[in-house]
């Protein structure tokens, strides 16, 4: 028999090396964008982790042309964040699927791939080591040069030095070379930075691009969003696999204690009810459960109606003040309304939706609503039409009801979703899948925002109408006086002064009041002779 298959195993680093398209490194221009983005997001996370107002300095230098018609660049990002402990640095930057982002806590990155993928890509395209300098603010600054052993998925340290940290500096510097195409990536990169500034108005970001141009995104508010807390899993998100893991590691002696200790918002009485429904003795040791009992328990937990929704303390929304500051700073609109929705949950993961609407001023008329999408403070730039927000705005909203014309009005909508787990559809982190719970919250937020915009526009129009009103009287009363005088054959025109005075002082009935039987005659003009 011929053609027998050969079976083999590959490492995760090797897998992503072979399939780098799916992580956002499909072309030189995309690679530049993805690299900057991953590094900036890691920096911002590292700052917020230690409650420091972020300062991120980015430098991209062009080195020489590459053989494929693109260029080689040196990329360097420095932040004032938490820093990485010296002994973790090699793995954190030289091993795929290693990192600090696998817990149930809101962070920007999700897959634990980004930073290492960027370094991996740089290594593949230039075969040069990466340079990492970091300190957690203690007495030492750690300084590494390393490469990734792709087949083994292990870091390979080429050089390691320790410096004395005289100034108590904390933060991380990442520097490496890579192939890329900045010219083509530039619009997206600048767009990304601008949008990042919208949701991080408390950050100070500078970027020196390969042409030597300096872009500054200044801090306009000195308030950080409240920090997220780590949380236990919510029972709704549990499956048998999770239960197995927890049973293996628990120290609890009874099922009742097991549920209370390892799950979010489960108290004694709720634990009892759940176990009763699952036909399990609350005092039994969790270690004694059979596979089918584990499976039953998981099913009961997922379908039990009385759990409280997950606590949102593990989330860190921007808050209305920060979001509004960011929108005003970067978009400079005539009108802004922002709203933070109450916490909600999907599949046991808590989330909060924040919605902003911006009208007029610096918002351009593009023939459509300008949509800014953010997930855990990351701007989402690609594949807008696949995103649930796009669906909400274009398919679910009836804008006519809010007297808004998306094709004509200068309008921007800002959607920020924060969650312990963002439901991306792809590793490229570009758009959200349409979970019904999230869709509903976005829709309600956009509705509230639209309602407030409508009220603003109505007030604005009312004011303008009042101004026009007097002008109309001043224009037409003299004519009515003149022609009625001519028609009736009087010599002297009547005095319109008293009537004009009434208009300006008393304020006549509003136009709306005159409708009905005695209203204005609104028959439309017709052609002579037709009927």
Partner 1 sequence: MSRALRKKEVLERLKALGEGVYTQMQRGIFPAVRMASRSVRNIDYDPHLRQYVLGDQKVLRSARNVRHLRPLAQLLWAGHVARSLVSQGKTSTLRDLFYMAQADEVHFKDQAESDNIVTDLETILGYAREDFHVFPEERSSIFGDLTIEYTVPGYEGRRLNLMSHPDGLVIGPTLTSAEFVHCNAKICIVIEKGAMFTRFVEEKAYERFKALLIQTAGQPPRATRRLIRRLNQELGLPVIIFTDGDPWGMHIATVIISGSANAAHLRELATPDAKWCGVYATDIVNYKLPSDPLTELDIKRLYELKKDPRYEGELWKREIDMFLKIRRKAEQEAFSRYGLTYIVDKYLPDKLKELAL
**Which residues would be at the binding site for partner 1 (CB under 8 A)?**
469, 472-473, 475-477, 479-481, 483-490, 494-496, 498-499, 502, 508-509, 511, 514, 517-526, 528-531
Least gap, CB of 423 to a copy of itself (angstroms): 6
DSSP summary character for residue 394: I
Position 241 contacts a copy of itself (CB under 8 A) = yes
Kindly state the smallest distance separating residue 151's Cβ from a copy of itself, in Å.
Answer: 7
Cβ contact 194:373 at 8 Å: no
- The contact mask relative to a copy of itself for 203-232 (x = CB under 8 A, - = no) is ------------------------x-----
Least spacing, CB of residue 17 vs a copy of itself, in Å: 7
Question: What region does 129 belong to: left with phi over 0, alpha with psi -120 to 50, or beta?
Answer: beta
Q: Are 414 and 374 in contact (CB under 8 A)?
A: yes
Contacts by residues 57-62 (CB-CB < 8 Å, ≥ 24 positions apart): 57/206, 58/205, 58/206, 58/207, 58/208, 59/207, 59/208, 60/32, 60/36, 60/182, 60/207, 60/208, 60/209, 60/210, 61/210, 62/182, 62/210
Q: How far is the CB of 468 from partner 1 (least distance, A)?
A: 8
With contacts defined by CB under 8 A, how many residues of the chain interact with a copy of itself? Answer: 75
Does 12 sit near a copy of itself (CB under 8 A)?
yes
Closest CA to 438 of 425, 450, 427: 425
Q: With binding defined as CB under 8 A, does residue 68 bind a copy of itself?
A: yes
Stretch that binds a copy of itself, among 104-112, 192-200, 317-325, 326-334 (CB under 8 A): 104-112
123 binds a copy of itself (CB under 8 A): yes
Binding-site partner at residue 197 among partner 1, a copy of itself, none, CB < 5 to 8 Å by type: none
Cα–Cα nearest to 217, from 199, 193, 187, 191: 193
CA distance 317 to 46: 17
Residue 526 CB, shortest distance to partner 1, in Å, is 5
What are the start-end ranges of the H helices in 167-234?
Answer: 182-199
Least CB distance to a copy of itself at residue 238 (A): 11
CB 347 within 8 A of CB 422: no
Task: Write down the least CB distance from residue 478 to partner 1, Å.
Answer: 9
476 binds, options a copy of itself, partner 1, none, Cβ within 5 to 8 A by partner type: partner 1
> What's the min distance (Å) between Cβ of 523 and partner 1?
5
Q: Is 86 in the site for a copy of itself (CB under 8 A)?
A: no
Angstrom distance (rounded) from CA 434 to CA 443: 12
Interior angle at CA 82, CA 95 and CA 162, nearest 5: 70
Of the candidate residues 34, 110, 134, 389, the single one contacting a copy of itself (CB under 8 A):
110
Residues ≥6 apart with Cβ < 8 Å to 392? 439, 442, 443, 446
Tokens describing residue 457: 């526009």
The dihedral formed by the CA atoms of 390, 394, 396 and 400, expressed in degrees to the nearest 10:
140
Q: Which is nearer to partner 1, 306 or 528 (CB)?
A: 528
Minimum CB distance to partner 1 smaller for 65 or for 466 = 466
Q: Which of residues 286-345 bind a copy of itself (CB under 8 A)?
A: 291-292, 294-295, 298-300, 302-303
- By the rule CB under 8 A, 168 interacts with a copy of itself: no
Q: Which one of partner 1, a copy of itself, none is in contact with 480 (Cβ closer than 5 to 8 A by kind)?
A: partner 1
Distance CA 85, CA 108 (A): 20
Half-sphere exposure of 318 (CA within 13 A, CB side): 35
Q: Taking CB under 8 A as the rule, which mask of x and - marks residues 135-164 in contact with a copy of itself? A: -xx------------xx-------------
* Least distance (Å) between residue 357 CB and a copy of itself: 28
Site for a copy of itself (CB under 8 A): which residue of 86, 428, 506, 511? 428
- Residue 112 is a binding residue for a copy of itself (CB under 8 A): yes
| Rounded Cα–Cα distance for residues 78 and 172 (Å) | 6
């Amino acid at each position: 028999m011929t053609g027998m298959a050969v079976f083999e195993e590959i490492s995760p680093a090797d897998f992503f090396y072979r399939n780098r398209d799916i992580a956002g490194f499909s072309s030189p221009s995309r690679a530049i964008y993805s690299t900057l983005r991953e590094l900036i997001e890691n920096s911002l996370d590292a700052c917020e982790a230690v409650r420091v107002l972020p300062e991120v300095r980015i430098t991209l230098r062009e080195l020489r042309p590459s053989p494929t018609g693109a260029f080689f660049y040196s990329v360097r990002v420095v932040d004032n964040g938490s820093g990485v402990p010296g002994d973790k640095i090699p793995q954190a930057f030289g091993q795929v699927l290693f990192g600090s982002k696998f817990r149930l806590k809101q962070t920007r990155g999700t897959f634990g791939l980004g930073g290492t993928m960027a370094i991996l890509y740089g290594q593949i395209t230039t075969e040069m080591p990466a340079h990492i300098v970091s300190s957690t603010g203690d007495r030492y600054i750690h300084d590494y040069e390393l490469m990734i052993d792709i087949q083994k998925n292990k870091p390979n340290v080429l050089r390691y030095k320790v410096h004395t940290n005289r100034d108590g500096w904390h933060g991380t510097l990442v520097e490496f070379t890579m192939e890329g195409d900045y010219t083509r990536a530039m619009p997206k990169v600048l767009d990304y930075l601008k949008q990042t500034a919208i949701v991080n108005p408390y950050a100070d970001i500078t970027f020196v691009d390969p042409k030597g141009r300096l872009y500054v995104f200044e801090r306009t508010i000195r308030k950080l969003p409240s920090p997220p807390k780590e949380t236990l899993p919510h029972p709704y998100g549990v499956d048998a696999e999770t239960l197995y893991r927890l049973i293996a590691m628990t120290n609890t002696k009874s099922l009742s204690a097991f549920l209370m200790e390892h799950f979010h918002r489960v108290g004694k009485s709720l634990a009892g009810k759940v176990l009763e429904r699952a036909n399990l003795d609350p005092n039994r040791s969790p270690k004694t459960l059979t596979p089918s009992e584990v499976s039953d328990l998981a099913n009961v937990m997922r379908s039990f109606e009385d759990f409280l929704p997950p606590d949102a303390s593990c989330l860190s929304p921007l808050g209305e003040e920060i979001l509004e500051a960011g929108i005003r700073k970067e978009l400079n609109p005539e009108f802004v309304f922002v709203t933070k929705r109450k916490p909600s949950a999907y599949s046991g993961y808590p989330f909060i939706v924040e919605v902003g609407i911006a009208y007029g001023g610096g918002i351009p008329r593009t023939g459509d609503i300008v949509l800014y999408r953010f997930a855990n403070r990351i701007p989402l730039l690609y594949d807008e039409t696949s995103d649930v927000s796009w669906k909400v705005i274009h398919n679910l909203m009836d804008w006519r009801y809010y007297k808004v014309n998306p094709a004509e009005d200068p309008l921007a909508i800002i959607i920020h979703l924060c969650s312990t787990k963002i439901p991306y559809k792809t590793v490229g982190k570009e758009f959200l899948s349409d979970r019904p719970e999230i869709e509903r919250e976005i829709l309600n937020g956009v509705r509230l925002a639209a309602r407030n915009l409508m009220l603003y526009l109505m007030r604005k129009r009312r004011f303008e109408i009042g101004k026009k009103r007097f002008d109309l009287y001043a224009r037409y009363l003299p004519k009515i006086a003149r022609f009625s005088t001519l028609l009736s054959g009087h010599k002297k025109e009547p005095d319109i002064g008293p009537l004009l005075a009434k208009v300006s002082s008393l304020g006549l009935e509003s136009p709306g009041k005159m409708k009905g039987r005695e209203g204005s005659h609104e028959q439309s003009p017709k052609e002579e002779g037709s009927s």
